[in-house]
Amino acid sequence: MDFLSNLPGIILALIAFGVLILVHEVGHLVAAKRSGVLVEEFWIGMGPTLLSHQFGETKYCLRLLPIGGACVMEGEDGDDGSVSDRAFSKVSRWRRFIILIAGVTMNFLMGFVILLFILPGAQDGRIVVPTLDGFYEGFQHEGEDGLMVGDTILEIDGYRIHQRSDVDMAIMQGAADGKFDITVRRDGEKVEIKDLPMQPNVEVDGQMKYGLHFATVEATLPVRIQTAFWESVSLARVIWDSLGQLVSGQVGVDQLSGPVGVTAVMSQTAKVSFQSFLYLVAFISINLGVMNLLPIPGLDGGRLLFLLVEAIRRKPLGPKLEGYVNAAGLVLLLGLMVYVTGNDMIRLLG
């Protein structure tokens, strides 16, 4: 019964996954064709082929599992001497860079467009900004040595503040002692406030908060664009910080989620509101962009790393070596996907 009740959300999540993958691969496809590279196959999904059709020189396929895709170009694993002049390995390094970066660019662009559409932080046609226009009763640190009305928060403990939501993220990551180094713009000048003690001890609408009240500005088109851009940057920072915690051991690999876990979260989010669902889709789109830029063999970032090595050496690596490294990277990524999918299933069934 639970599965049936979640089915509409699951279908919506799978469609969203398919669109994100499609957007990424279309970026590669368009860039490759514009660069004159022969695209042999273009497919969305993994596993058995459901549909396929040959359009011109490219075979297009739809596969069963909506968790991957590929834009297969001639000679993308190096030049072994048997490729034509339209092979990926034959075009200039600059064109190859454009082709490789096009996929993640499309993911970042899609995330930005979604955020521009739903406009996070908007209230009745206005946007909340990180400028203080007052304090709730009970706030104890107002004054020249603390915070003042009109202050625009620029940094909290070194975390750059571009928009209102960055304040929450910076406070969440702040020092355990509840003291913050805050940089503000006050009367046109930067003012640094050291070790400002703040605790969520001010009651606002039945919740304990820090007692800050932020100003709003009219949501004009430039403000909307700026807000969507900085929200995209903020989401990318969250992902990057999470990767840092994973590398440092603060977060274990067993806490990662794969397609099954993400689909479950998307399905539940769709029940809350469609806007929340779209926000999550934007986050995942930007996440795909960041992850694909990692210098891991098998990902776009790995291929960009090979391109950088080639530019430094002024000659490409051997095609066999590049092919082996990329294949090994794909095997490791597939193994990780199987592992996190297993964890997702255990969590869902548990």
Residues near 275 by beta carbon (within 8 Å), at least 6 away in sequence: 118
What's the rounded Cα separation, in Å, for the pair 282 and 116?
Answer: 10
Dihedral (Cα; 24, 15, 347, 337), 10-degree rounding: -30
Cα dist from 290 to 232, 237, 284, 286, whole Å = 11, 10, 10, 6
**C-alpha radius of gyration, the chain, whole number:** 24
Q: Buried (b) or exposed (e) across 312-330, using 16+ Cβ within 10 A?
A: eeeebeebeebeebbeebe
Please say if 144 is a catalytic residue: no
What's the rounded Cα separation, in Å, for the pair 332 and 337?
Answer: 9
Beta carbons of 80 and 24 less than 8 angstroms apart: no
CA 144 to chain centre: 39
The β-bridge partners of 184 are: 153, 191
| Active-site choice (25, 76, 231, 322) | 25
Determine the angle formed by the axes of helices 93-118 and 2-34, rounding to 10 degrees.
140
What's the rounded Cα separation, in Å, for the pair 98 and 88?
Answer: 11
Active site residues per annotation: 25
